[in-house]
Amino acid sequence: MPLGSGTITPTGQINVGEDIYLEGGPTVWFQSADAPLANDPDSNDVYYGLSGTGTHPIYEIGCYDDFQFVDEVTTNAVQCQALGTVDELQRREHLMATFTLKSLLPFSILSRVMRGGAVITAALDGTEAFGLGEINSQKYHLYFARQYDPDTGDYVSITCHRAVFTNASPLSTPYADAWNIPVEMKVLADRSKPRDQRFATVLRLDPSVIN
Protein backbone atom coordinates (compact mmCIF):
# COMPACT_ATOMS: atom_id res chain seq x y z
CA MET A 1 0.00 0.00 0.00
CA PRO A 2 1.48 3.39 -0.95
CA LEU A 3 2.29 5.68 1.94
CA GLY A 4 -0.62 8.06 2.67
CA SER A 5 -3.24 6.13 0.69
CA GLY A 6 -5.23 5.15 3.80
CA THR A 7 -7.95 7.16 5.55
CA ILE A 8 -8.91 7.42 9.19
CA THR A 9 -12.61 7.58 8.29
CA PRO A 10 -14.44 4.27 7.74
CA THR A 11 -16.04 3.77 4.35
CA GLY A 12 -19.62 2.89 3.53
CA GLN A 13 -22.82 3.90 5.31
CA ILE A 14 -22.11 5.80 8.55
CA ASN A 15 -24.69 6.88 11.12
CA VAL A 16 -23.57 9.90 13.14
CA GLY A 17 -24.83 10.91 16.56
CA GLU A 18 -26.90 14.10 16.65
CA ASP A 19 -25.89 17.18 18.62
CA ILE A 20 -29.12 16.97 20.65
CA TYR A 21 -28.87 16.39 24.37
CA LEU A 22 -31.58 15.62 26.89
CA GLU A 23 -31.26 17.39 30.22
CA GLY A 24 -33.12 17.24 33.50
CA GLY A 25 -35.63 14.81 34.92
CA PRO A 26 -38.65 13.62 32.96
CA THR A 27 -42.25 14.23 33.87
CA VAL A 28 -43.61 10.99 35.32
CA TRP A 29 -47.19 9.71 35.17
CA PHE A 30 -48.93 6.45 36.04
CA GLN A 31 -52.38 5.01 35.39
CA SER A 32 -54.23 1.76 35.98
CA ALA A 33 -53.03 -0.93 33.59
CA ASP A 34 -56.70 -1.74 32.94
CA ALA A 35 -56.96 1.43 30.85
CA PRO A 36 -56.21 1.24 27.13
CA LEU A 37 -53.16 3.21 26.04
CA ALA A 38 -53.60 6.37 23.99
CA ASN A 39 -52.11 4.43 21.05
CA ASP A 40 -53.13 0.81 21.51
CA PRO A 41 -51.53 0.45 18.99
CA ASP A 42 -51.00 3.15 16.36
CA SER A 43 -50.94 2.49 12.60
CA ASN A 44 -47.37 1.18 12.92
CA ASP A 45 -48.29 -1.36 15.62
CA VAL A 46 -46.53 0.73 18.30
CA TYR A 47 -48.04 0.88 21.81
CA TYR A 48 -47.48 4.11 23.75
CA GLY A 49 -48.94 7.08 25.61
CA LEU A 50 -51.68 7.46 28.20
CA SER A 51 -55.27 8.68 27.94
CA GLY A 52 -57.10 9.43 31.18
CA THR A 53 -60.78 8.81 31.86
CA GLY A 54 -63.10 9.25 34.81
CA THR A 55 -62.76 5.56 35.57
CA HIS A 56 -59.00 5.45 35.02
CA PRO A 57 -57.47 8.88 35.72
CA ILE A 58 -53.79 9.64 35.23
CA TYR A 59 -51.63 10.54 38.23
CA GLU A 60 -48.62 12.81 37.81
CA ILE A 61 -45.65 12.46 40.13
CA GLY A 62 -44.68 15.85 41.56
CA CYS A 63 -41.32 16.82 43.02
CA TYR A 64 -38.76 14.02 43.07
CA ASP A 65 -35.00 13.44 42.91
CA ASP A 66 -32.69 10.83 41.37
CA PHE A 67 -34.97 9.22 38.80
CA GLN A 68 -33.34 6.12 37.28
CA PHE A 69 -34.53 3.49 34.84
CA VAL A 70 -32.65 0.20 35.17
CA ASP A 71 -32.58 -2.89 32.96
CA GLU A 72 -32.48 -6.13 34.97
CA VAL A 73 -31.00 -8.95 32.87
CA THR A 74 -29.97 -12.53 33.58
CA THR A 75 -26.74 -13.47 31.79
CA ASN A 76 -25.25 -16.93 31.36
CA ALA A 77 -21.96 -17.54 29.58
CA VAL A 78 -21.71 -20.31 26.99
CA GLN A 79 -18.40 -22.01 27.72
CA CYS A 80 -16.58 -24.91 26.18
CA GLN A 81 -13.39 -26.50 27.45
CA ALA A 82 -11.45 -26.13 24.20
CA LEU A 83 -12.19 -22.46 23.47
CA GLY A 84 -13.41 -20.80 26.64
CA THR A 85 -16.36 -18.42 26.53
CA VAL A 86 -17.87 -18.35 23.05
CA ASP A 87 -21.16 -16.54 23.69
CA GLU A 88 -23.47 -15.06 26.29
CA LEU A 89 -27.16 -15.82 26.55
CA GLN A 90 -29.27 -13.07 28.04
CA ARG A 91 -32.89 -12.66 29.07
CA ARG A 92 -34.54 -9.45 30.21
CA GLU A 93 -36.26 -10.26 33.51
CA HIS A 94 -37.82 -6.86 34.28
CA LEU A 95 -37.12 -3.14 34.35
CA MET A 96 -36.94 -0.93 37.43
CA ALA A 97 -37.86 2.72 37.86
CA THR A 98 -36.55 4.31 41.06
CA PHE A 99 -36.80 7.83 42.44
CA THR A 100 -37.00 9.72 45.72
CA LEU A 101 -40.47 11.20 46.12
CA LYS A 102 -40.75 14.58 47.84
CA SER A 103 -44.31 15.54 46.85
CA LEU A 104 -46.21 13.47 49.41
CA LEU A 105 -49.57 15.12 48.75
CA PRO A 106 -52.30 14.56 47.69
CA PHE A 107 -53.21 11.25 49.29
CA SER A 108 -54.80 10.07 46.03
CA ILE A 109 -51.23 9.64 44.74
CA LEU A 110 -49.42 8.79 47.98
CA SER A 111 -51.82 5.94 48.85
CA ARG A 112 -51.06 4.25 45.53
CA VAL A 113 -47.31 4.77 45.82
CA MET A 114 -47.34 3.29 49.33
CA ARG A 115 -49.62 0.41 48.24
CA GLY A 116 -52.24 1.45 50.73
CA GLY A 117 -56.01 1.29 50.83
CA ALA A 118 -58.61 3.54 49.30
CA VAL A 119 -58.64 7.19 50.36
CA ILE A 120 -61.59 8.07 52.58
CA THR A 121 -62.62 11.72 52.36
CA ALA A 122 -64.84 13.42 54.95
CA ALA A 123 -65.69 16.77 53.40
CA LEU A 124 -67.61 18.03 56.44
CA ASP A 125 -64.59 17.40 58.67
CA GLY A 126 -62.05 18.50 56.07
CA THR A 127 -60.13 15.24 56.42
CA GLU A 128 -58.91 12.39 54.23
CA ALA A 129 -57.29 9.14 55.26
CA PHE A 130 -56.03 5.82 53.92
CA GLY A 131 -54.94 2.66 55.63
CA LEU A 132 -51.78 0.60 55.46
CA GLY A 133 -52.86 -3.01 55.78
CA GLU A 134 -52.62 -5.75 53.22
CA ILE A 135 -50.45 -4.67 50.30
CA ASN A 136 -52.31 -3.45 47.25
CA SER A 137 -50.43 -4.87 44.26
CA GLN A 138 -52.39 -3.06 41.55
CA LYS A 139 -50.71 -2.94 38.14
CA TYR A 140 -50.12 0.35 36.36
CA HIS A 141 -48.96 1.86 33.13
CA LEU A 142 -45.85 3.95 33.82
CA TYR A 143 -45.11 6.75 31.38
CA PHE A 144 -42.34 9.32 31.50
CA ALA A 145 -41.21 11.86 28.94
CA ARG A 146 -38.80 14.73 28.43
CA GLN A 147 -39.32 17.52 25.91
CA TYR A 148 -36.02 18.68 24.41
CA ASP A 149 -37.35 21.41 22.08
CA PRO A 150 -40.14 23.48 23.67
CA ASP A 151 -40.62 25.52 20.47
CA THR A 152 -41.54 22.50 18.34
CA GLY A 153 -42.66 20.07 21.08
CA ASP A 154 -40.07 17.43 20.18
CA TYR A 155 -39.72 14.84 22.95
CA VAL A 156 -38.57 11.38 23.99
CA SER A 157 -40.88 9.14 26.02
CA ILE A 158 -40.97 5.66 27.53
CA THR A 159 -44.25 3.82 28.08
CA CYS A 160 -44.10 0.84 30.45
CA HIS A 161 -47.10 -1.39 29.96
CA ARG A 162 -47.39 -3.27 33.25
CA ALA A 163 -45.71 -2.00 36.39
CA VAL A 164 -46.19 -2.33 40.13
CA PHE A 165 -44.95 -0.31 43.09
CA THR A 166 -42.65 -2.65 45.04
CA ASN A 167 -41.19 -0.32 47.66
CA ALA A 168 -41.93 3.03 49.26
CA SER A 169 -39.82 3.04 52.41
CA PRO A 170 -38.41 4.50 54.58
CA LEU A 171 -40.21 7.78 55.11
CA SER A 172 -37.36 10.16 55.93
CA THR A 173 -37.89 13.43 57.79
CA PRO A 174 -34.55 15.26 57.45
CA TYR A 175 -33.84 18.48 59.30
CA ALA A 176 -34.47 21.61 57.19
CA ASP A 177 -35.42 19.54 54.15
CA ALA A 178 -38.53 17.98 52.64
CA TRP A 179 -39.89 14.70 53.89
CA ASN A 180 -39.11 12.05 51.29
CA ILE A 181 -39.64 8.41 50.38
CA PRO A 182 -37.41 6.24 48.15
CA VAL A 183 -39.75 4.60 45.63
CA GLU A 184 -39.23 1.52 43.47
CA MET A 185 -41.46 0.45 40.63
CA LYS A 186 -40.92 -2.87 38.87
CA VAL A 187 -41.87 -3.14 35.20
CA LEU A 188 -43.20 -6.61 34.43
CA ALA A 189 -43.69 -8.45 31.15
CA ASP A 190 -47.01 -7.86 29.42
CA ARG A 191 -47.90 -10.96 27.44
CA SER A 192 -50.55 -9.06 25.46
CA LYS A 193 -47.89 -6.93 23.74
CA PRO A 194 -45.62 -7.92 20.84
CA ARG A 195 -42.38 -9.63 21.88
CA ASP A 196 -40.25 -6.57 21.11
CA GLN A 197 -42.52 -4.30 23.20
CA ARG A 198 -43.31 -6.74 26.00
CA PHE A 199 -41.95 -4.51 28.77
CA ALA A 200 -41.91 -0.98 27.37
CA THR A 201 -41.92 1.17 24.24
CA VAL A 202 -39.45 4.01 23.65
CA LEU A 203 -40.72 6.77 21.35
CA ARG A 204 -39.23 9.92 19.85
CA LEU A 205 -41.29 12.68 18.23
CA ASP A 206 -39.23 15.00 15.99
CA PRO A 207 -40.82 15.50 12.53
CA SER A 208 -38.11 17.97 11.45
CA VAL A 209 -35.43 15.26 11.73
CA ILE A 210 -37.37 12.01 11.24
CA ASN A 211 -38.72 11.85 7.71
Q: What is the pLDDT of residue 3?
A: 60
| Structural domain contains residue 17 | no
Asked if the structure places residue 34 within a domain, the reply is yes
Q: Say if 62 falls within a structural domain.
A: yes
169 within some domain: yes
Residue at 184 is within a domain:
yes
Domain count for the chain, please give it. 1
> In sequence order, what DSSP letters do the residues of the chain get, joined into one string?
--TT---SSPPS------S----SPPEEEEEETTSPPSBSS-TTS--B-----SSS-EEEE-SEEEEEEEEEEEEEEEEETTTEEEEEEEEEEEEEEEEEE-----HHHHHHHTT----EEETTTTEEE----S-----EEEEEEEEEETTTTEEEEEEEEEEEEEEE---B--TTS--BEEEEEEEPP-TTS-GGGSSEEEEEE-TTT--
Give me the pLDDT at residue 7, please: 81
Q: Is residue 5 part of a domain?
A: no
Q: What is the pLDDT of residue 4?
A: 58
Q: Is residue 201 part of a domain?
A: yes
Domain of 168 in residue numbering reads as 27-205
Q: What is the mean pLDDT of each run of 10 residues along the chain (211 residues)?
A: 71 90 96 98 97 97 98 97 96 98 97 97 96 95 96 96 97 97 98 97 94 80
Whether 95 maps to a domain, the answer reads: yes
**pLDDT given for residue 211 in this prediction:** 80
